[in-house]
Amino acid sequence: MNETAACTFVKVCTLDDVWEGDMDSFEVNGIEVLIIVLEGGKVVATQSVCPHQSVELVEGEFDGSKVLTCRQHLWQFDVCTGKGINPEHAAIAMYPVKVEGDDILVDLRGAEPIFCGS
């Protein structure tokens, strides 16, 4: 069973592609994924667009530790949980992620992008 679960993870990038405290967007199998490396080295993966009006989140601002702010209307998200900070009713999808050696792998079937309107 573990072997089957491991097969759902695909390589998105390497640790050399995204530095600690930074983020970047990658397309894998037709799906855009935002990879974020938190201060301390923890890696998270989220949907790549804001749920409000589909603006690319990579164009926004990441504070290095947990808050991602969309550039368009300043919606904010906690990238550790995916929950909205401002507005609180918003959320972004979080993909399961694991690091093997220098490779960052994501389970693309682990979540669906969220869209919530205004």
Cα–Cα distance, 63 to 46 (Å, whole number):
16
pLDDT at 91: 95
Cα–Cα distance, 37 to 15 (Å, whole number):
9
Q: What is the pLDDT along the chain (118 residues), one digit of tens a residue?
A: 444 444 589 999 999 999 999 999 999 989 999 999 999 999 999 999 999 998 999 999 999 999 999 999 999 999 999 999 999 999 999 999 999 999 999 999 878 888 875 5
Q: Are 10 and 33 in contact (CB under 8 A)?
A: no
Tokens (6 digits) for 12: 């998105």
Tokens (6 digits) for 24: 């970047």
Superfamily of structural domain 2-108: Rieske [2Fe-2S] iron-sulphur domain (2.102.10.10)
Extents of the domains making up the chain: 2-108
Handedness of CA 37, 62, 118, 52 (dihedral sign): negative
pLDDT at 115: 85
- What's the pTM? 0.89
